[in-house]
Amino acid sequence: MERFRKFIGKNINMENIKNLNLHNEKIACTYLPDPPDDFDELEFRTGFKTENDIMIIATIEQQNIQKIFIGKPDENDPDIPLALTEAQKDELLSDKGTELEEFFNFITQ
Handedness of CA 54, 91, 24, 47 (dihedral sign): negative
Domain ranges within the chain, ordered by starting residue: 2-107
| pLDDT, tens digit (0-9, with 9 covering 90-100), for 7-60 | 999 999 999 999 887 777 788 898 999 889 999 999 999 875 545 589 999 999
| pLDDT, tens digit (0-9, with 9 covering 90-100), for 15-28 | 999 988 777 778 88
Residue 21's pLDDT is 76
Q: Would you list the DSSP string of 58-83?
A: EEEETTEEEEEEEEEE-SS-TTSEEE
